[in-house]
Amino acid sequence: MRRRRMGALHVGEQRVSFQQQQQQQQVGKNGHGHGAVVEEVHGLIRVYKDGHVERLPAIPDVPCTWGTTALPGVIARDVVVDRATGVWARLYAPAAAGRVPVVVYFHGGGFCVGSAAWSCYHEFLAQLAARAGCAVMSVDYRLAPENGLPAAFDDGLTALRWLRQQASYTAASDDLSWWRARCRFDRVFLTGDSAGATIAFHVAARLDQLDSLTPLAVKGTILIQPFFGGETRTASEKTMPQPPGSALTLSTSDTYWCMALPAGATRDHPWCNPISGRGAPRLDTLPLPAFLVCISEADILRDRNLELCSALRKAGKSVEQAMYGGVGHAFQVLHNYHLSQPRTQEMLAHIKAFVSRASR
């Protein structure tokens, strides 16, 4: 069992050979005395009959200083957000002086795997800080199934409370002065990919649960391949072919939702299906900020993402959408398509333009 704790969880740990992984996986299949495997996403997570959870080292964690922060000219540091829950964040900012908009980012992973310390997110968010010219707060939230929804949504609000505290901080100098000095706290954007985009959406919908955002101002929400579902399948969910090693298949999607939602809930739960789910609040009643929705053409979630854009527009919300051809789910962090690199640069340009327009 790889236990999550504050900081870069696996940094400095000895790498495991393929043969060792195979042996460990076989032992895992035999149960370690925890009984049968009842839920599994191959290569990422197993849940046993007694509730024991095993996460596999699919992607390495890296320290905030790794690779000179992936790009020169970007500074990164880790910080505790809430000691009680273990929530922490990795902060990024351009090294150059000057105040820039703030992106609060939630990583993907079906609510069940992933980390702000994963190398793929470290690289992508360092690029985002450099290319889009923004400060980034990458939130490491609690994971399901140990902490089922709405724990991740609650952690998102906790992250905003922490950010509000930083915006109100008056001390002359401390360990975070370098980051605060680069932040325009009146230009905040809630952002995430996959399940992280779902968190960003639900945090945006719950902003009224905060007593006050002042001096923060949330100017927009950027949803990258948002992970939503429903009992009725869309056309892309039913027919979109997925290559071997795809980041998200229909069965994987269903497994993640099974582990994340309350026991007995279906995919029409409003946390999964905010458009037509039973009990979902009407979108026109929510004080949602402007949206940029980034959609992958070869993603099984393509049609559901398009439905979300349509529903938000019908509710009177400001929505921009961008479609990325020839790539699938999580291409910008996994680089698993031959067009990943140019499409990632397109995405960063779209995010930069959206942040610039919404900040006016």
Q: What is the DSSP letter of 217?
A: -
DSSP per-residue codes, 29-80: HHTTTS--EEEEETTTEEEETTS-EEE--SS-B--TTGGGTSSTTEEEEEEE
- Is 356 a residue of the active site? no
Question: Which one is catalytic: 138, 194, 253, 296?
Answer: 194
Neighbours of 342 (CB within 10 A): 12
Distance spanning both ends of the chain, measured CA to CA? 48
How far apart are the C-alpha atoms of 206 and 213, rounded to whole Å?
A: 12
Q: Are 274 and 283 in contact (CB under 8 A)?
A: yes
Note the helical H segments in 176-301.
Answer: 177-180, 195-205, 235-239, 250-260
- Is residue 318 among the annotated active site residues? no
Beta bridge partners of residue 224, listed in sequence order: 193, 294
| Percent helix, strand and coil across the chain, each to the nearest 5 | 35, 20, 45
Q: What's the CA gap between 244 and 332, in Å, rounded?
A: 18
For residue 223, list its beta bridge partners: 192, 293
- Of 236, 221, 223, 84, nearest to 151 by C-alpha is 84
- Among the listed residues 107, 122, 329, 350, the single catalytic one is 329
Name the token pair of 218: 């949330």
The active-site residue, picked from 296, 299, 303, 340, is 299
Three-class SS of residue 92? Answer: strand
Q: Is residue 42 annotated as a catalytic residue, yes or no?
A: no
- Give the catalytic positions in this structure: 194, 299, 329
